[in-house]
Amino acid sequence: MEKNIGALAIILVILCLIVGFTAGYVMKDEKIVYEDKIVKVPYNVTVEKVVEIVKEITSTDTQPLLDTAIVDYLEEVEDEKDLQYCGEERYDKDQIKVSDVDDDYTINYEEDSYEVVFEIELKYLDKDVEEKCYVDNKVSAYYEDDEDVEITILE
């Protein structure tokens, strides 16, 4: 009987090995796939600092703005009699010409408006007498969306 128990134990061990190898082979082909699920949760963000991005502007970009401001200023000179005086004498609007515009001008941009500040020299010429009179003005032309231009003489 002891021989039968030993043989039976060996057969049982071989049978366990065969079952183990078979189970390992079958499970080897099974692949476990994990899926990552990203859950998006909306949340409010508060901005503590506003950063303004400034584009570098060249004079060719701003030249049309200066030209428009000069034209608007000259229209103001034509409309306002106080601006038609040079010294004690009043000149007609056709006797007033632009003598010089300073190359240094500034344009201040805001959200829905901008301001052009420039210096201009006007020449008042009396053709009958051949006398000339000059006036230098520092001018601010303020433009706002859907509003009329505001011309202000600064100096």
Collapsing DSSP to helix, strand or coil, 105 comes out as coil
Collapsing DSSP to helix, strand or coil, 7 comes out as helix
DSSP 147: S
pLDDT for 4 equals 74
**Tell me: the pLDDT tens digits for 9-56?**
888 889 888 888 787 776 665 666 777 777 778 878 776 776 665 555
Residue 119: pLDDT band (50, 70, 90) is: very high
Residues near 107 by beta carbon (within 8 Å), at least 6 away in sequence: 57, 62, 65, 66, 114, 115, 116, 117
pLDDT for 138 equals 92
Residue 45 CB neighbours (<10 A): 4
What is the β-pairing status of strands 113-126 and 131-144? antiparallel
Residues 66 and 84: their CA atoms lie apart, in Å, by 22
Placement of tokens 């859907």 in the chain: 146
Mean pLDDT of the chain: 81
Residues 54 and 154: their CA atoms lie apart, in Å, by 27
**Tell me: the pLDDT tens digits for 53-68?**
555 555 567 788 889 8
Q: Report CA 103 to chain centroid distance, whole Å.
A: 26
DSSP 83: G
pLDDT for 57 equals 54
pLDDT for 125 equals 85
Report field, pTM of the whole predicted structure over 0.75:
no
Q: Which tokens in the block code for residue 134? A: 């000059």
